[in-house]
A and B are shown apart, each in its own frame.
Chain A
Amino acid sequence: MTASRSTVYGSADGIAGSFRSHGRASLGTDHREAENTVIIANQELRETCFSSVASVRRMALIGSFATRAHDAFALRLALAQSYMREQGIGEHAAPYHRSPVLRFPPAKYTHVPSAAPAKMLFVAGQLARNTQGVCVGKGDMRAQIQ
């Protein structure tokens, strides 16, 4: 099964702008979003964005802006989902995803993280030591992990 993608320019649902649509026709699923939609992968950032949308919505109501304004803004936020890359919808693929061939239950770590070109930091092995360099939590694995 492959994802179908198309770009629709013009107006959709009464909101002016460029939109793209993608989905899986074989499953009867499809959705439409603004061309410049921001894909949000981080849970904390996602909550912040939703909160911002709510603020804009309140401002729109108070300021008597065009009623479509806040809806258009909300359309530009989409959620990244880990399985989207597997389904061929790269726009919604989370940057950290679990490989379909390396999935173990229960997964306590990501099997295939990816990173765009950036500065890499190599952190030396960290031991459970205090500021005097003395090992703390002797004989207590949990304490040393912490």
Chain B
Amino acid sequence: MADIVKTNTYVTDYQEFAKHPDMRMRYFGPATPTSTTVQISRLADPDAMVEIEAIAVIDG
């Protein structure tokens, strides 16, 4: 997780997602990566409420 420098988060209900900022802090800690979060009408899985993609940088 410490290698992740950017996340893109897709949520179906941003208001509900925003109720849980502590979850991000739990996994990333204070050195959180840069982030973009967008609300969309639905994800590929109709039951899914959130999908997170990431870019990480590791030693070559």
A144-B33 contact in complex given A119-B60, A121-B57, C-beta closer than 8 Å: no
Residues from chain B with a CB closer than 8 A to the CB of A96 are 31
Number of interface residues, chain B, beta carbon within 8 A = 41
Count of A-B contacts with CB under 8 A? 101
Residues from chain B with a CB closer than 8 A to the CB of A137 are 49
Interface residues of A: mostly helix, strand, loop or mixed? mixed
Residues from chain B with a CB closer than 8 A to the CB of A145 are 17, 20, 23-24, 50
Question: Is A124 an interface position by the 8 A CB rule?
Answer: yes
Closest A residue to B35 by beta carbon equals A109
**In the complex, per-residue mask of A97-125: 1 if CB is within 8 Å of any chain B CB, else 0:** 00000000000111111010111111111
Q: Could you say which of B6, B8, B48, B60 contacts A127, with CB atoms under 8 Å apart?
A: B48
Residues from chain A with a CB closer than 8 A to the CB of B31 are 42-43, 96, 110
Find out whether the CB atom of A141 lies under 8 angstroms from the CB atom of B49: yes
Find out whether the CB atom of B30 lies under 8 angstroms from the CB atom of A43: yes
Q: Could you say which of A43, A113, A126, A140 contacts B33, with CB atoms under 8 Å apart?
A: A113
Number of interface residues, chain A, beta carbon within 8 A = 33
Q: Could you say which of B16, B19, B44, B57 contacts A119, with CB atoms under 8 Å apart?
A: B57
Question: Is A132 an interface position by the 8 A CB rule?
Answer: no
Question: Is A5 an interface position by the 8 A CB rule?
Answer: no
Question: Is A142 an interface position by the 8 A CB rule?
Answer: yes
User: Which residues 26-54 in B have Cβ within 8 Å of A in the complex?
Assistant: 29-35, 43-45, 47-54
Query: Which B positions have Cβ atoms within 8 angstroms of A?
Result: 2-6, 8, 10-11, 13, 16-17, 19-21, 23-25, 29-35, 43-45, 47-60
